[in-house]
Amino acid sequence: SAVISQKPSRDICQRGTSLTIQCQVDSQVTMMFWYRQQPGQSLTLIATANQGSEATYESGFVIDKFPISRPNLTFSTLTVSNMSPEDSSIYLCSVRAGGTGTGDYGYTFGSGTRLTVV
Amino acid sequence: AQSVAQPEDQVNVAEGNPLTVKCTYSVSGNPYLFWYVQYPNRGLQFLLKYITGDNLVKGSYGFEAEFNKSQTSFHLKKPSALVSDSALYFCAVTSGGYNKLIFGAGTRLAVHP
């Protein structure tokens, strides 16, 4: 299955600033997914990122707050913009384990970015 | 719309006893179902999945799950719990293809010595 390198692993940021999170995959994948896990909560899907097109955002998430780039089939970034303490969460990227083929329908997750906004 | 329900916030089990963590789902189309485990300060680890075929799926660390289409359930089970199984467990569903994976609220499993 695919291996994801996600960074930074954690950061403490000042309110009003922005943080960009990177995910690098060791194989080409069609779709990448970005999730948020607020403290003590489940994973909530932020958006789905396809290479060469704009990301598709879930209800409650907007591009101005969470811009996403997907320049190629192995890399994506998520930016958390104009941060407030409510953005303190773990952010995770995910890919379909099968890559661009039919695969085995599993999903692989990055190790996560623990963000604290002060 | 896809949804997953994990009705129990926490499950408490004595070590050596069988455990069950419940999950029900709602999707249009055929469901693809997953269980993940999250240990404190660690990433999400894949346990098992149901895509098609046998309703009983065996996964990592001795866990298994049974797909029940009529009850739209996918409960996670283990015959004999270990203290080291204590963690947060998530059920997730997608309806096939390259669709997004939707997670349940999670169930915290506590296995007592």
Report the CATH number at residue A68: 2.60.40.10
Is A61 among the domain residues? yes
* Residue B101, pLDDT above cutoff 60: yes
Within a domain: A42? yes
Region A86-94: mean pLDDT is 96
Residue B72 has a pLDDT of 96
State the CATH number of the domain containing residue B79. Answer: 2.60.40.10
Alpha helix stretches (DSSP H) within chain B? none
**Maximum distance among all alpha carbons in chain A?**
43
Residue span of the structural domain in which B95 resides: 3-112
3-state helix, strand, coil in chain A (%, to 5): 5, 50, 45
DSSP 8-state symbol, B84: G
Decide: residue A69, CB within 10 A, 0-12 exposed, 13-18 middle, 19+ buried. middle
Boundaries of domain holding A89 = 17-113
Interchain contact, A105 vs B49, CB within 8 Å: yes
Q: Identify whether B18 is preceded by a cis peptide bond (ω within 30 of 0).
A: no
| Domain total of chain B | 1
Interface of B with A (CB under 8 A): 32, 34, 36, 42-44, 46, 49, 51, 90, 92, 96, 98, 100-106
pLDDT of residue A101: 41
Q: Render pLDDT for A40-52 as a digit per residue (tens, 0 to 9).
A: 899 999 999 988 7
- Amino acid letter, residue A19: L
Residue of A nearest to B96 (CA): A105
Q: Which residues of B touch A49 (CB under 8 A)?
A: none
% of chain B at pLDDT higher than 90: 73
Residue A69 belongs to a domain:
yes
Q: Given this model, what pLDDT does residue B41 score? A: 76
**pLDDT at B26 (0 to 100):** 93
Q: Which residue of B has its CA nearest to A43?
A: B103
Decide if A12 is inside a domain. Answer: no
Question: Which of A34, A42, A89 is most worth mutating to test chain B (most B CB atoms within 10 A of its CB)?
Answer: A42
Tokens of A105: 């329908």
**Sign, CA torsion B95/B25/A42/A18:** positive
